[in-house]
Structure 1
């Protein structure tokens, strides 16, 4: 089936199968920042924004984004690089496999929450897994990035 969607501010026509996942559809079209790690919708690696809200693309059927705005990390490159620099400065960056989904979630949190508490940050990040870190460096980096530390 053919659908139209706006991906990173560019209107696109996509040919998708009825059972095709958004993560697969995006990767097939060159958006290689979309990763899959768990196949159970609990790791956050595949996070994209659909109409500005962080969404797991591995559990979203591609045809459901018809007429919607999809944003991948490629579409927010400058903001992503700014936060990635803070992550690195805080010693919180490891292998980088989880970074695109994690960064998309943090950038969405910045837009949605004003002056979040540590508990609100932790709650917002529930579902973003990193197998390399103990999360303390990432939490430090997030607080610094949001201006709270």
Structure 2
């Protein structure tokens, strides 16, 4: 996408050029008329401003929601023997969240530390058992 003017970009976005000029000025891009040229940095600045104003955050990038729809037909007969076709739609919604790598590493190190402590306690208990048995034998 090469740099083009405000009117061309508004036509590309299928919106009035006046509205686009207002959005550009709200984003801090100084454009006064429809014939002013827009660079890639101006477009990126506008996009960042619109994302912030509409509440999009980085947390949304880590979360993906899949919605599946499955439509099928069921034939059911009533008491008179007349058959009807009923359409059934099943919707499944599944959300996947990417965990932070640092949180996973911290969790793994916590598990390793817990396992080491548990192993030490088991060894201590084993030694105490052996000492008690030797004391009983004596």
Q: Same fold (TM over 0.5)?
A: no
Question: When you count helix as a share of all residues, which structure comes out higher?
Answer: 2
TM-score bracket, normalised by the shorter chain, equals under 0.3
Q: Could you state the TM-score of these two structures normalised by the residue count of structure 1?
A: 0.21
Structure whose alpha-carbon radius of gyration is higher: 2
Q: Could you state the TM-score of these two structures normalised by the residue count of structure 2?
A: 0.23
* Higher RCO (CA < 8 A, seq sep 6+): 1
